[in-house]
Chains A and B, each alone.
Chain A
Amino acid sequence: METIFNWISSNQQMIYIVILMIFLGVEVIGRVPSVLHTPLMSGANAIHGVVIIGAIIVMGKAESDNYLALTLGFLAVVLGTINVVGGFVVTDRMLEMFKKKK
């Protein structure tokens, strides 16, 4: 029990962020019209591509003779970039079409 309490108090900043973000996420998209469901899903998909930052850190920290870390990191960077770039471009393409007719 003690360890859990200690863990909570030493990570309280993170826990606050998590809780606030959960409510914010719900709040922010609460009123989305059904027309925008798919672009929104796609946009959110691009945003979670922020995981690429982790991949860059893994890659950048890898020792130059640690081939396992280099390979994993490299793959992660490639996949993460596809997620980010592809995600934003696809979303933009979808939304471009909404825009045109106005």
Chain B
Amino acid sequence: MGISLLTICYLIASVTFILGLKMLSNPASARKGNLIAAAGMTIAIIGTIFLYEDNAEKLHNHAWIFGGIFIGGVVGTLAAKKVKMTAMPEMVSLFNGMGGACAALISISEFHNLGINTTPGWEMPDGGQTKLLIIFLGLIIGSVSFAGSIIAWGKLNGRIKDFAFTGQQIFNIILLLVAVSIAAYLIFNISDTNYYLFYVVLAVAISYGILFVFPIGGADMPVVISLLNSFTGVAAACGGFLYDNKAMLTGGILVGSAGTLLTILMCKAMNRSLANVLIGSFGGSAKTTSGTTKEQGAYKEISLSDAAMVMTYAHKVMIVPGYGLAVAQAQHACHELEKLLTEKGVEVKYAIHPVAGRMPGHMNVLLAEADVSYDNLLEMEQANEEFPTTDVVLVLGANDVVNPAAKTDPSSPIYGMPILDVELAKTCIVNKRSMKPGYAGIENDLFFQPKTSMLFGDAKKVLQDLIGEIKNL
């Protein structure tokens, strides 16, 4: 009875995962989908605690289990509630790392359970090969995902700088091969004299995870996180094999495959291939190839009052937000400016590049937080159609996504990336903190064009000053 009830719990959970993921890919149902998946997860967890039986024996250590869930629940909720909008991708990466670590810990634990204890030592039971194979898979994938996610987290919040050495790609591949071959060797030849090599595999897998993410530029982190996310899914599925647990298997594989597709879709949004992201080390090599190649002309600055004037007397203003807006937390000021201009009869819209900011959809989330109407957010294609009829484009802390080099300069590392054609508008005001190049480390011709004028300063402060100026007009 108990066991069949548990089966039903897992069945419900599996269905909610599928349904949840399906609903998450549609804006109208996304939130409900998330809640449905969460409900299914709760059912699966509670079912496991009270109904799971192994050889007719129920689980014990309930105090420990609830203690763990309580601590994890409190930490998880607080972290998720407290985190700033700009730090969302880091948070997701960190959570993903926790999942990977969890999978690796399960593997370590099951490795010890698998062996027949001969003190001191480890002996393989009959027919344990399959289990050991799955344990190794869970261990390697889980720890790569854990280590990689932590590095990705550190890179996104700026604690870890890019780091690469020549031949790193080859070195990484060798590391991975070493881990896999030791694992393979152990699966067939494990004995009580070499079982400790299990921990060597763990160490090598962690180093691989670290070195794999290290050389990849910060701008590509969302892609990496998405990839590691699907890794963790596969690691979770390994647990499903281990315990013959269908909920873990379906959930894990589902995330593994959906995550892989999502990774590819993200790459497509940047018009690059996954291999290019992983091997290209965007930021690192780009700096040397371009930037020094072209003589840059002079840029011109615009004063606040002039900018306010130009915008107030325009018919149509298009705002192009970027990472600078997120850093300055200027979304509310931005919305205020929009309202003020609309009151004065100016048509204000936002042009959202799919990869503006540090993650796809970053700008949508940010502007939504400030109550900007969904109808005013234009996707790239729509925005590009409207630029020719736009009087003023206000670029707020965006750089690479408006760089015309992506169209004109085949030697540029971002060549081929679809961009917002802001140069089609009549005038363009660019707000930046300084003339420093953006994340890809390349100069932007846009800033030197005659139609463009620069408005330096922190996005929030500039916007507030602009609002003041416009009110005084």
A residues near B, CB below 8 A? 7, 11, 14, 17-18, 21-26, 28-62, 64, 68-70, 72-102
Contacts and interface: CB of A to CB of B under 8 A. Distances in A.
A97 B262 CA distance: 22
Given A28-B258, A97-B369, A69 B361 contact: no
B257 to A, nearest CB: 3
Given A28-B25, A89-B77, A47 B65 contact: no
A86 B45 contact: no
B170 interface: no
Interface string B217-257: 00000100110011011011101111111111111111111
B257 A26 contact: yes
B150 to A, nearest CB: 12
Contact of B61 (A59, A79, A89, A96): A59
Given A49-B236, A73-B105, A83-B96, 4 more contacts: A38-B360, A54-B240, A62-B109, A91-B24
Given A32-B25, A56-B48, A56-B49, A98 B76 contact: no
A84 B365 CA distance: 21
A21 B365 contact: no
Kindly list the 3 A-B residue pairs having the minimum CB-CB distance in the complex, ordered from nearest: A81-B72, A60-B59, A25-B257
Contacts of A86: 75-77, 79-80, 91, 95, 98
B25 A14 contact: no
Given A44-B233, A88-B38, A98-B27, A78 B241 contact: no
A82 B266 contact: no
A89 B246 CA distance: 25
A43 B33 contact: yes
B253 A22 contact: yes
Contacts of A36: 24-27, 30, 361
Contacts of A32: 24-26, 262, 265
A14 to B, nearest CB: 6
Contacts of B365: 38-39, 94, 97-98
B interface bracket (residues with beta carbon within 8 Å of A): 35 or more
A39 B251 contact: no
Nearest to A69: B109
B209 interface: no
B253 A25 contact: yes
B69 interface: yes
Given A48-B255, A60-B61, A98-B27, A25 B261 contact: yes
A24 B22 CA distance: 10
A86 B99 CA distance: 11
B276 to A, nearest CB: 18
Contacts of B260: 25
A44 B374 contact: no
B99 A45 contact: yes
A77 B84 CA distance: 26
Contacts of A58: 105-106, 109-110
